[in-house]
Structure 1
């Protein structure tokens, strides 16, 4: 097994070197290479890269694809109203790092000191007045015990989920769109169940390979539209 892995590694390295022009040694400033001067790469036999943003840069079209697939999963698998198809992905609606109050169905920006940034709180697709936010939270400070763990993991009953991943953008937008639909049509719903359904739909897009099959189905164009290496 070890020999086979080395063989694959060396062949891949050879093919890569054939594609990438060799950089002259005297053109590289060695002082700019390492952030950790206690480690030398000569001690490392094999190293690799995380695919995201190292070998591939994703464009906004991929977010649209994820949004559309997850929206359709809600309709087909979770029996959400067919009219949800009228909602489309909204570029620049959300940014990474926002928090979502699962129980109150509110999307917001919370700073490093756990204070809600007034003017950033949204219910559905519409901003919530500052005075209403202050009344709901009895101020603008959010206790640490209800905040999610690092990278937004809410595994201990926390009510605040933080969206840190680049793929969280379509998830936040879909959450707000579904909330908006129910509010516009005066449909009673349970915010926690809505959050879980959207989370499951987004998970299925990735885990079940739906997104990857959609890209592979049009490989000639999708690498130019959805991502490029």
Structure 2
């Protein structure tokens, strides 16, 4: 499988790959698959890092102008590399952290705002251990999880903005409601996408926001040459009704 990947991708691309992260699936033969489906964002369309900054800063503007948050937040810009995917955020404790598969907070990873939280405080906050009870992580056991896990690339902006706002409030001694703050920031980030603001920027300057995907072209070209069929899954957004529904386009 590794050799197939190297043969398929253009010269020079494989130098950027971590070969230890390429796995073979012994349960399926791709030669038997006739139809391939693709998502759009960060699958067919690869965006530049500049888009992170623009989305984060625009959502920050929504907080200030529409939600009447302090204008001092305008001094906080997007911080590249501050957050990674799959972090957990404890809404009630305002902690952004890394949790392992057994629901233990990995010491040294917890942040409140933009500042690390000492391990001793983390252990005290979770009852003398850094273990998070299962009922707090799953909505199966009660009213809903108090922890949010940020799974996708779009979450990087939300985590950074969330941490920046908390940092401002903590630094200036401003009391805040943790649940409402989290909801406001989620809504601000969502509005940038739902109201189509992000795609208007992209349409005006494709060269600045869209990366040329040699790898994507190579894979699609390979599939076309083998007479495979494609479909593209998009999200249809009703701004007035605030509803999302899948829209499937066949025959691509």
TM class, shorter-length:
0.7 to 0.9
CA distance in 1: counterparts of 2:109 and 2:75, whole angstroms:
25
Distance 1:78 1:42, change over 3 A: same
2:131 corresponds to 1:144: no
- Residue 58 (structure 1) aligned with residue 47 (structure 2): yes
Total equivalences in the alignment: 190
Is residue 214 from structure 1 mapped to residue 201 from structure 2 by the alignment?
yes
Shift of 1:51: 2.1
Residue among 119, 130, 144 paired with 2:108:
119
Distance change in 2, residues 1:141/1:35 (3 Å): same
CA contact (8 A) 1:58 1:228 kept: no
Say yes or no: does 1:87 pair with 2:80. Answer: no
| CA distance 1:98–1:43, shift in 2 (3 Å) | closer
Which runs of 5 or more structure 2 residues have no equivalent in the other structure? 1-9, 11-23, 214-252
Confirm or deny: 8 A CA contact 2:50 2:209 kept in the other structure: no
Consecutive unaligned residues of structure 1, counting only runs of 5 or more, are 1-20, 22-33, 150-154
* Residue 195, structure 1, aligned to residue 170, structure 2: no
The CA distance in 2 between the partners of 1:95 and 1:49, in whole Å, is 24
Q: Is the 8 A contact 1:63 1:170 kept in 2?
A: yes
Alignment partner, residue 166 of structure 2: 179
1:37 Cα deviation from its structure 2 partner: 5.5
Are 2:62 and 1:76 aligned? Answer: no
Q: RMSD over aligned Cα, in angstroms? A: 2.4
For 2:119, the equivalent position in structure 1 comes to 130
Structure index of larger Rg = 1
CA distance in 1 between counterparts of 2:33 and 2:71 reads 58
TM-score, normalised on structure 2? 0.69
Query: What TM-score, normalized to structure 1?
Result: 0.75
Structure richer in helix, relative to its length: 1
CA distance in 1, matches of 2:106, 2:27: 39
Change (3 A) 1:50 1:179: same
* Greater per-residue strand proportion: 2
Shift of the 68–188 alpha-carbon distance from structure 1 to 2, 3 Å rule, reads same
Kept in 1, the 8 Å contact 2:48–2:209? The answer is no
Partner of 2:59, secondary structure, is: helix
Residue 142 of structure 1 aligns to a residue in which SS?
Answer: coil
